């Protein structure tokens, strides 16, 4: 009989950084003898790695953990953990809504997770750790054990944020900005490259200020170092803050082959009045001039952005400025959000809040408009050949896709410009780089045919 192995289930809510953090939690759990499982009903430990950026994400965490009340009565040995941003924000208060929690593990407490697990096992109840820590990175295991993508991984290179945008909880839940040592980053990526990872995305709230406080190497110098790692074919990064986007970084995107020709540069609003109230540190005009520099240095660069609609005091004219900016810049894609009040962020105290219904109406108008712009931009790619890193088989056949007569396997991947590309192929495998001629285009994806092997 197979020996019984204890299992752990991790639910990750939120951003790419949380995906990375969950892999670290998985690494700790593996070191404690737990197998990571997809079955939450039979798991011995359930961890919810939470996000507090918007009200909805926070509610999702409480509702997920709340559902374990009955299970915990049935199986008192089940260990229930709230980790990450909501844990940091709520601390003790988390027990009011989820009394059956065992551990509340803040954003800087991950390295102490193991010792808290031991304490729970020896009978300690309701552990809260929201202490600050200087050493969040190096004390965590390097090897990711969650079975996510086999070709692409996120790597956190810095934590926290010093920008204090007035809507944002990040500086309060993730703390002040600090960068990880470049040697540790390079070592971790080498391990990933040896395990077959071909694409990495370097993560930080503002990668442009990587290493500044520590007086270490700059972000463009880090890109150069990472590009020398054998086996890594593509390097992406997020997020850049428009106020700190340097010519040195623009040149790194232009000159380092492995760095993808794509930049995620959140603008948040197209109105100067709103940008000022958001404390963003740039104007609509300076944002546009950075984009002009970028497009000049890196022709064809793909651009994506984050937008918030319905920020307190946003008038119909301010909103119109944002719509106009979308037209001026022609982003390839955007993430757009209705402003969500966060009690620890200063904007919660701004008096002129926008009505919820009006926020949703603006959000829908913005997304519809962006779909039209993106479709037009994608259609201009028809007939062009893009290099696609294959991510695997398409999960579904999308509307409008040309089905091949022999119903070949549909594969999916991304171009360097971060476009999702679907194509039929029997021969290619996950991790391959293939050339695909674009035949059809939609707002959020492209469809094409692979070139013959002789043209690859």
- Binding residues (CB under 6 A) for ligand SF4: these are 161, 163-165, 168, 170-171, 205-206, 241
Task: Give the SS3 label for residue 232.
Answer: coil
What is the spatial distance between Cα 340 and Cα 54, in angstroms, rounded to a whole number? Answer: 5
> Residue 241 class from Cβ within 10 Å (0-12 exposed, 13-18 middle, 19+ buried)?
buried
Closest distance to ligand SF4 from the beta carbon of 322 (Å): 16
Strands annotated E in 217-327: 234-238, 262-264, 302-309
Q: With CB cut-offs between 5 and 8 Å by kind, which of ligand SF4, ligand 5AD, none does residue 163 bind?
A: ligand SF4
Cβ–Cβ under 8 Å, residues 100 and 64: no
Residue with nearest beta carbon to ligand 5AD: 306
Identity of the residue, 52 or 410, whose beta carbon is nearer to ligand 5AD in the bound complex: 52
Identity of the residue, 72 or 342, whose beta carbon is nearer to ligand SF4 in the bound complex: 342
Identity of the residue, 205 or 269, whose beta carbon is nearer to ligand SF4 in the bound complex: 205
What is the spatial distance between Cα 329 and Cα 302, in angstroms, rounded to a whole number? Answer: 11
Sign, CA torsion 253/257/260/262: positive
Q: With CB cut-offs between 5 and 8 Å by kind, which of ligand SF4, ligand 5AD, none does residue 161 bind?
A: ligand SF4
Identity of the residue, 18 or 218, whose beta carbon is nearer to ligand 5AD in the bound complex: 18
Identity of the residue, 235 or 309, whose beta carbon is nearer to ligand 5AD in the bound complex: 309
Q: With CB cut-offs between 5 and 8 Å by kind, which of ligand 5AD, ligand SF4, none does residue 342 bind?
A: ligand 5AD
Cβ–Cβ under 8 Å, residues 91 and 131: no
Q: With CB cut-offs between 5 and 8 Å by kind, which of ligand SF4, ligand 5AD, none does residue 137 bind?
A: none
Buried b or exposed e, range 5-14, using 16+ CB within 10 angstroms: eebbbbbbbb
Cβ–Cβ under 8 Å, residues 424 and 404: yes
Residue in 284, 282, 223 with CA at minimum distance from that of residue 257: 223
Q: With CB cut-offs between 5 and 8 Å by kind, which of ligand 5AD, ligand SF4, none does residue 429 bind?
A: none
Closest distance to ligand SF4 from the beta carbon of 336 (Å): 14
Q: With CB cut-offs between 5 and 8 Å by kind, which of ligand SF4, ligand 5AD, none does residue 171 bind?
A: ligand SF4
> Residue 306 class from Cβ within 10 Å (0-12 exposed, 13-18 middle, 19+ buried)?
middle
Identity of the residue, 24 or 264, whose beta carbon is nearer to ligand 5AD in the bound complex: 264
Q: With CB cut-offs between 5 and 8 Å by kind, which of ligand 5AD, ligand SF4, none does residue 236 bind?
A: none
Identity of the residue, 239 or 425, whose beta carbon is nearer to ligand SF4 in the bound complex: 239
Residue in 44, 52, 46 with CA at minimum distance from that of residue 14: 52
Binding site for ligand 5AD (CB under 6 A): 53-54, 167-168, 266, 268, 306, 308, 337, 339-340, 342
């Amino acid at each position: 009989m197979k020996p019984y192995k204890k299992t752990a289930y991790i639910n990750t809510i939120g951003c790419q950084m949380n995906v990375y953090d969950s892999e670290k939690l998985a690494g700790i759990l593996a070191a404690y003898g737990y197998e990571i499982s997809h079955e939450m009903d039979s798991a011995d430990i359930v961890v919810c790695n939470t996000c507090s950026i918007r009200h909805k994400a926070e509610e999702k965490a409480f509702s997920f953990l709340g559902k374990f009340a009955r299970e915990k009565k049935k199986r008192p040995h089940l260990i229930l953990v709230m980790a990450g941003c909501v844990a940091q924000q709520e601390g003790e208060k988390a027990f009011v809504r989820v009394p059956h929690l065992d551990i509340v593990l803040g954003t800087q407490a991950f390295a102490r997770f193991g010792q808290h697990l031991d304490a729970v096992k020896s009978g300690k109840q309701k552990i809260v750790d929201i202490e600050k820590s200087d050493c969040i990175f190096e004390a965590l295991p390097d090897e990711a054990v969650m079975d996510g993508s086999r070709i692409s991984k996120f790597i956190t290179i810095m934590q926290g944020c010093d920008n204090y945008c007035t809507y944002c909880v990040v500086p309060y839940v993730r703390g002040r900005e600090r960068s990880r040592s470049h040697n540790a980053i390079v070592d971790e990526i080498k391990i990933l490259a040896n395990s077959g990872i071909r694409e990495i995305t370097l993560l930080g709230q503002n990668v442009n200020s990587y290493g500044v406080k520590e007086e270490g190497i700059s972000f463009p110098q880090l890109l150069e170092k990472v590009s020398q790692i054998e086996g890594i074919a593509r390097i992406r990064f997020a997020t850049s803050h428009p106020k700190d986007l340097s010519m040195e970084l623009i040149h790194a995107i232009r000159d380092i082959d492995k760095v993808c020709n794509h930049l995620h540069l959140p603008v948040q609003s197209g109105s100067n009045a709103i940008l000022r109230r958001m404390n963003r540190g740039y104007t609509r005009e300076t944002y546009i001039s950075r984009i002009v520099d970028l497009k000049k240095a890196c022709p064809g660069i793909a651009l994506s952005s984050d937008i918030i609609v319905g920020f307190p005091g946003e008038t119909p004219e301010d909103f119109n400025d944002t719509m106009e900016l979308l037209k001026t810049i022609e982003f390839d894609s955007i993430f757009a959000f209705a402003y969500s009040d966060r009690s620890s962020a200063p904007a919660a105290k701004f008096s002129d809040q926008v009505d919820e219904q009006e926020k949703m109406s603006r959000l829908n108008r913005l997304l519809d408009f962006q779909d039209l712009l993106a479709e037009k931009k994608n259609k201009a790619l028809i007939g062009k050949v893009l290099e696609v890193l294959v991510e695997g088989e398409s999960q579904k056949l999308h509307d409008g896709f040309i089905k091949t007569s022999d119903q070949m396997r549909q594969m999916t991947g991304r171009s360097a410009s971060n476009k999702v590309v679907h194509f039929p192929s029997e021969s290619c495998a996950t991790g391959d780089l293939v050339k695909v001629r674009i035949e059809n285009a939609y707002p959020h994806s492209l469809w094409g045919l692979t070139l013959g092997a002789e043209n690859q």
